[in-house]
Structure 1
């Protein structure tokens, strides 16, 4: 594992680059920069290392770390679109970031998802340009030959579409839940084809996903593994919270320049300097928070918080987009007996196999045209032509996704054993449940993340700090176009009910648990959706690339440089201008890989 450094030594080191956030993107960036031996690179991570912790490493324990010591414990503001509910927003406070807490799904969005970024004027961010960076992060382990037929584990040849020597191990699980064999057949029965090439630019169809697991050790593979054998010029300080990016003007005139950061470590404050650049990789929640705390953002937000405005940037913290889940609960036969947990752990330790290697891997992505009747699809398409909240280019891209000929995965379906619905309480201890998750991929709702005003209940009239969580307001099903999201989820819920009543999946499902069989009308189903929607932990867009409209539409340019500040970039999921139809981690690694490459290119160091 990486050799860590103490705070005093870190502050006294002359860095070329300082990376704020040792998470999914941040460690990818830092490790690639440190491959140039003449550079000195520092990483500041607020969390601890979780190396060797079973709750991080064991695949089937995924989710156990949520809400624990490796979690930021963020919460949203009360959401009117969810009946006033407040949702937990788990994010990784750990070396490795959220890649240490997630469910390890490894997939990519559609080719059109990334080409849309380029269409907005962000040169170099289309599918063809990003594919080498996807591959650069990956080390794909082909499955045993029998998996192709027994578990629908199909893929393109590794040398054409999957990376072979990257730091993140990706593979098919070595064991599968007993229900997985029924998944493909149920979708095939209703006319949905299996997609053996789901990583090659189209994820539409039903398929078995690969996961970020090293099959040789049967353990999670995550961002901290970029730094298992770090060079001497890479310095990592954990439990260090960055409170401000230090911005200065030469002679008090001209543009602002980032010269370093102020951070706290065990109650003491330090300053560290960066001769070349500061890179924010603090994620979609904390990268905009740090920009605002440093004086970059909207005048009204900073003024209300008592923060001196240095660089006006109207889109900092805006454009928040998030995948959302409705966890439907069919009620299956007895498929898993928790009493054998101890035996499963013993088998895992002994053989690195068995139930503790099983992860959710039954996936399907479908366009709305597959879910909604023609007349209702036409109504949705008509509404999508009236997107006043978006600029003309974004509005055009979003409305085209309702075309009958568009094969884009607007809703994801995931099947897994167990109860995934935090709002549902089982009738008795003897009941067994499975969950069919439907996940909205292209939200029309737009929210925001901003620092709180200094008149807030926890500020005592003082400006907010990095120790306080910002105000997270996703605006689920709300705002100018939020009703479109609710209608898409309604059609997704109806399709989920259809799948659960289709053989062979129907054979293991005696009946529905949530929503119950009493929920029949569209009105009742909408109410159930509002009452049960939760986050999918995929926030994006709060420091988006501005494209052709630049600062009027975003926070960073296509080189990920913050508008109006020299020597400062943002490299993480927050730079995505439009959401993608995929779980995020593979894309965030690719953003980190590409971001590092651009830094080296701009510095004239690429290829050294």
Structure 2
């Protein structure tokens, strides 16, 4: 790992990757497999590979790094659709990026999610095209026959990778309520899914996690992709260095020639002989493009940035998964992660068990998952009304993207994800001493809500820089997004049905958040709850989307992930997704990185 910016600047770099996170490290490692090229990675955060105290690596300690020095600690603007609240938006600021902070969920969207990308004109981005890259990123460790029988775990080997950098597995042991999960959902006509990674996000299953089963440690971009090849002589990583902008030169057209970087108070321009690849994520990739002069003319002019490429969709098309946390009081005999965190004696015992034998509470994850289609949750008439409303939105906007979202109402796709876990997950409910709680997380998968991320306008004569936090405005539930609020409110009914169905209902004493509504006010109470308690599910996408057949009119990059209007510049991360997928996005981001690296190597092979 390079320590000095001067040393880094003197390297004969062919590729510079901006961002050593989930996608960035995967891209860099794959590019550096070609020994004839030099690859440089620039990461704003530190490396935690030798300094982590377990907050990153120990699975059961998920969430501890949120709000820490490893987090950018972004916040949204005030959201009128959320009752005037502003939300924290955690993003990884560490080598490995958000893969070091996330909850290690590993699943894929429905095959129609990715086929929709291809239908927009993004050739090579359908399910069948992406499946080899999903598999290439992972080494899946199948559960034993005893595990499958006891925990209802399942898999189909042809859909799982066997030689990839990331370790994925079914967790060793589950929380106390998992034994009731499948039977309860099955009783509600939600069948168990034999392989959630096979192109169907519907049904109930056990979530696979990015955990190395041999060490019981988080498997993430830094530990899985980078660390095994860290000594590779043509792979160079500079941490705690901030990319301020991409350097563009006019050579008949604009060409990316390198980046301006600040490290330890020193600012230097660093050159790339072939390409600059931006992998800074859905918030900072558009920010860096705009600071470089690529973006909406009005945004750039307001910020005092010279307009080099008028690209109207940079920072637009922001989509996120919305989440609510419904809290139930449960039997006081149930153990939870809350007990471990609040009791030093239990915490010490958990530490001992984990370090001695890789067992105990720190190996338990929230993996009781169900993806329910709207037809499983609401009446045929309500579904028809929602479908007509969605069709109307698509007609009004005239956007192919909205037509594809509206079509999913007629398919059996998992529109709402449910995860049940013992413990209080809500930032809005204070636990009462002596009481035990469980949480039903509910997440909308295919939103109509559209927001934006842009650099702020300058104030006075001051120049807008990378240090000015971008304006993050998801516009939850506004305008056409009002249909999202309706679906989330209707989804609350399913939450209540699940938790009042045996055998799960046997351990539930009652709902505490939201309080049970008076008869006749249930529908309004559900909508009020969604407005006042929705938070992010940490899955922002779309802000540098692939434009498909409409090109720069609707996107920022082409199907080869090349930025419109600039040669030698690509974006490879979650921001290129034109439409949200019905899944936690980690696996999709790795697949994007794997495919992006192959395309770069193909393009340069074709040009020589």
SS of residue matched to 2:56: helix
- 2:502 aligns with 503
- 2:513 aligns with 514
1:124-159 per-residue CA deviation (whole Å, 9 max, x = no partner) reads 0000010000011001111222111111110002xx
- 1:418 aligns with 423
**How far apart are residue 518 of structure 1 and its match?**
3.2
Change (3 A) 1:389 1:447: farther
1:188-232 per-residue CA deviation (whole Å, 9 max, x = no partner) reads 111110001211000200000110000100000000121112311
1:513-563 per-residue CA deviation (whole Å, 9 max, x = no partner) reads 111123652112111111110000000000000000000010000000000
Does the aligned pair in 1 maintain the 2:189–2:376 contact within 8 Å? no
- 1:430 aligns with 434
Asked whether 1:360 is paired with 2:358, we answer no
Partner of residue 268 from structure 2, selected from 270, 279, 284: 270
- 1:449 aligns with 453
Does the aligned pair in 1 maintain the 2:59–2:365 contact within 8 Å? yes
Q: CA separation in 2, counterparts of 1:239 and 1:150?
A: 46
Asked whether 1:557 is paired with 2:563, we answer no
**How far apart are residue 354 of structure 1 and its match?**
1.2
Of 224-233 and 276-285, deviating more is: 224-233
Q: CA separation in 2, counterparts of 1:402 and 1:46?
A: 41
- 1:531 aligns with 532
Q: CA separation in 1, counterparts of 2:512 and 2:147?
A: 32
- 2:392 aligns with 386
**How far apart are residue 605 of structure 1 and its match?**
7.4
Q: CA separation in 1, counterparts of 2:591 and 2:225?
A: 13
SS of residue matched to 1:245: strand
Q: CA separation in 2, counterparts of 1:28 and 1:322?
A: 23
SS of residue matched to 1:591: helix
- 1:146 aligns with 146
Of 163-172 and 225-234, deviating more is: 225-234
**How far apart are residue 4 of structure 1 and its match?**
3.5
Q: CA separation in 1, counterparts of 2:34 and 2:422?
A: 46
Does the aligned pair in 2 maintain the 1:5–1:235 contact within 8 Å? no
Does the aligned pair in 2 maintain the 1:95–1:238 contact within 8 Å? yes
Q: CA separation in 2, counterparts of 1:447 and 1:191?
A: 35
Q: CA separation in 2, counterparts of 1:241 and 1:103?
A: 26
- 1:91 aligns with 91
Does the aligned pair in 1 maintain the 2:19–2:43 contact within 8 Å? yes
SS of residue matched to 1:19: strand
**How far apart are residue 244 of structure 1 and its match?**
0.4
For structure 2, list consecutive stretches of 5 or more residues without a partner in the other structure: none
- 2:480 aligns with 481
Partner of residue 261 from structure 1, selected from 242, 253, 259: 259
Asked whether 1:137 is paired with 2:142, we answer no
Does the aligned pair in 1 maintain the 2:122–2:559 contact within 8 Å? yes
Structure 1 residues 27-46: aligned runs within 5 Å: 27-46=25-44
Q: CA separation in 2, counterparts of 1:410 and 1:5?
A: 47
TM-score, normalization by structure 1? 0.96
- 2:293 aligns with 295
SS of residue matched to 2:145: coil
Q: CA separation in 2, counterparts of 1:537 and 1:391?
A: 28
Q: CA separation in 2, counterparts of 1:464 and 1:156?
A: 51
Structure 1 residues 189-208: aligned runs within 5 Å: 189-208=187-206
**Number of equivalent positions:** 592
Q: CA separation in 1, counterparts of 2:270 and 2:422?
A: 48
